[in-house]
Amino acid sequence: MNSCPCGSGSTYETCCQPLINGASQAETAEQLMRSRYSAYVKVETDYILETTHPEHRQNFDPEGTKQWAEQSVWDGLEIVSTEKGGAADTDGTVEFIARFREKGVRKTHHELAEFKKDAGRWFFTDGSAVPARPLVSSKVGRNDPCPCGSGQKYKKCCGK
């Protein structure tokens, strides 16, 4: 089975691919967020531009975005929470954590993403980084959960 990179549990062919190839449109802000993550994984960066609201495209770097997507190894998407963004809403917020490796280094991107529905279509408008939570203890044990949020033990993740 070709699982969708967005982590929905569905196949890519029935989940994000129809959105990315234009056969259908996202019904919710979360669905758009998931498809944008899958577009990075599949290096479909034109879709990233197309799903960014036209008023927010001025700083988009197509070549830089494509290069970054190609050079990253994508490890998963976690939707932390959503606020509004349903089929009947006109705006919404999705908090997510994207996990990836860049030049072999494990990284996380934790963001609060803003979405707006314009003429019946969802668009990404802006995002702000969610600050990392301070560690309760400065010492992390090898068998403790990794503080990067991967869900793995520290020794199997950042403690290598």
**Domain harbouring 102, CATH code:** 3.10.450.50
- Joined together, the tokens standing for residue 23 give 């056969």
Give domain status of residue 72, yes or no: yes
Count of residues making up the chain: 160
pLDDT the model gives residue 75 = 96
Total domains, the chain: 1
Phi, psi dihedrals of residue 17, rounded to the nearest 5° = -55, -45
pLDDT the model gives residue 54 = 96
Predicted TM-score (pTM) of this structure: 0.82
Of 34-38, 128-132, 152-156, give the range with the top mean pLDDT. Answer: 34-38
Q: Is the pLDDT of residue 156 over 80?
A: no
- CA geometry: angle 4, 10, 11, nearest 5 deg: 55
Give domain status of residue 159, yes or no: no
pLDDT the model gives residue 141 = 74
Give domain status of residue 107, yes or no: yes
Give domain status of residue 84, yes or no: yes
Give domain status of residue 71, yes or no: yes
- Judged on CB neighbours under 10 Å (0-12, 13-18, 19+), 94 is buried
Give domain status of residue 31, yes or no: yes
Give domain status of residue 4, yes or no: no
Give domain status of residue 42, yes or no: yes
Q: Which amino acid is at 14?
A: T
Average pLDDT of every residue of the chain: 91
Q: Is the pLDDT of residue 43 over 80?
A: yes
Give the confidence band of 92 by pLDDT, cuts at 50, 70, 90.
Answer: very high
Q: Is the pLDDT of residue 154 over 90?
A: no
Domain hosting 69: range is 12-133
CA–chain centroid gap for 114, Å, is 12
